[in-house]
């Protein structure tokens, strides 16, 4: 019995030491977060987004639309080449399936719409630290603003520190945005929370919380023209980065947009009484829960 107790005490001490070493390792471990690009590298991701989109005309107290949207997007990334300064040239393609439920029409069962779409391919230029230094569309027939996209990437993409980082390290990225009323600052704070095993990879877990402020450029559409507006976006979540392989593995976030936009209608809307040429000030609200995760990784 005395021997058994001695063995038990030894085992308990060993367990405490092991736990202590584990805690210590989490506290002292440091890694350098870098994207490790190679020509011919292929990455595939899936993004699942769920949430509400609502558009209102406060002047007329009209809710023009309210939809619950579920979108599943398949994303492919190919590293076409790596330049002499280590910048990667990547081709990114997107296909998505969208399921939309009209939340204003509850009187019929035919309130769900399903869409299958393919987005324009992008050519992106990315530094190993994550900084996006250039983006362009692969074709000339794109109904989207490159200026807006560049601003989104600049404010919303994490740029990792130059030095090794460990648990508790924090940094903030700040961008000055020029609005008609004057310059404002948009910023996101990143914090190393822990290290974890995720989808078969050793990852550093980064918590982030930030605000993006995106002026809307003039835009000509089929039904209306956007003549002014600002998107205010808050995002809060966690990203998992495989530091040995140098790639994003997973992120989960809460993404909320509030926007005031001024549009000019091109066609009549008998339901809400709008005529062609009417100038309307709209409020747009979007609340999304986003899951973005690696589905395949292939190296040349």
Per-residue pLDDT of 93-124, as tens digits, reads 999 999 999 998 766 555 677 777 777 799 99
Residue range 149-199, pLDDT digits in tens: 999 999 999 999 999 999 999 999 999 999 988 999 999 999 999 999 999
How would DSSP label each residue in the chain?
A: -HHHHHHHHHHHHHHHHHHHHHHHHHHH-EE-------TT-EEEEEEEEEEEEEEEETTTTEEEEEEEEEEEEEEEEEEEEE-TTS-EEEEEEEEEEEEEEESS--SSS--EEEEEEEPPPEEEEE-TTS-EEEEEESSS---S-HHHHHHHHHHHS----SS-EETT-EEEEEEEEEETTEEEEEEEEEEEEEEEEETTEEEEEEEEEEEEEEEPPPEE-SSEEEEEEEEEEEEEEEEEEETTTTEEEEEEEEEEEEEEEEEEESS-BTTTTB-TT-EEEEEEEEEEEEEEEEEEEE--
Q: How many domains does the chain have?
A: 1
Q: Is residue 151 part of a domain?
A: yes
Q: Is residue 106 part of a domain?
A: yes
Range of the domain at 106: 33-294
Q: Is residue 87 part of a domain?
A: yes
Domain with 50 in it: what CATH number?
Answer: 2.30.230
Q: In the prediction, which pLDDT does 107 show?
A: 62
pLDDT at 216 over 50: yes
Q: Is residue 108 part of a domain?
A: yes
Q: Is residue 67 part of a domain?
A: yes
Q: Is residue 188 part of a domain?
A: yes
Residue range 54-75, pLDDT digits in tens: 999 999 999 999 999 999 999 9
pLDDT at 220 over 90: no
Q: Is residue 24 part of a domain?
A: no
Q: Is residue 281 part of a domain?
A: yes
Flag the least confident range among 35-39, 74-78, 139-143, 213-217: 139-143
This prediction has a pTM of 0.87
pLDDT at 240 over 50: yes
pLDDT band at 257 (very low <50, low <70, confident <90, very high): very high
Average pLDDT over residues 18-44: 79
């Amino acid at each position: 019995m005395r021997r058994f107790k001695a063995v038990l005490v030894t085992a308990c001490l060993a367990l405490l030491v092991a736990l202590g070493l584990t805690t210590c390792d989490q506290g002292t471990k440091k890694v350098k977060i870098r994207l490790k690009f190679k020509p011919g590298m292929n990455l595939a991701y899936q993004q699942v987004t769920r949430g509400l989109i609502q558009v209102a005309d406060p002047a007329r107290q009209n809710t023009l639309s309210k939809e619950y949207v579920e979108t599943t997007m398949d994303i492919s990334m190919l590293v076409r080449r790596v330049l002499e300064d280590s910048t990667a040239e990547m081709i990114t393609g997107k296909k998505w399936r969208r399921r939309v439920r009209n939340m204003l029409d509850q009187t019929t069962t035919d309130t769900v719409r399903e869409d299958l779409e393919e987005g324009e391919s992008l050519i992106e230029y990315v530094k190993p630290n994550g900084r996006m230094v250039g983006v362009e569309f692969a074709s000339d027939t794109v109904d989207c603003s490159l200026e807006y996209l560049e601003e989104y990437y600049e404010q919303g993409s994490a740029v990792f520190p130059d030095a090794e980082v460990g648990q508790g390290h924090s940094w903030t990225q700040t961008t000055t945005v020029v609005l008609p009323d004057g310059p404002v600052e948009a910023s996101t704070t990143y914090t190393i929370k822990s290290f974890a095993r995720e989808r078969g990879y050793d990852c550093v877990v980064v918590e982030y919380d930030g605000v993006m402020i995106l002026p809307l450029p003039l835009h000509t559409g089929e039904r209306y023209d956007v003549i002014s507006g600002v998107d205010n976006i808050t995002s809060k979540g966690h990203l998992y980065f495989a530091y040995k392989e140098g790639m994003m593995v997973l992120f989960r976030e809460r993404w909320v947009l509030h926007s005031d936009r001024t549009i000019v209608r091109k066609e009549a809307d008998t339901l809400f009484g709008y005529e062609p040429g009417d100038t309307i000030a709209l409020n747009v609200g979007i609340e999304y829960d986003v899951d973005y995760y690696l589905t395949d990784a292939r190296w040349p």
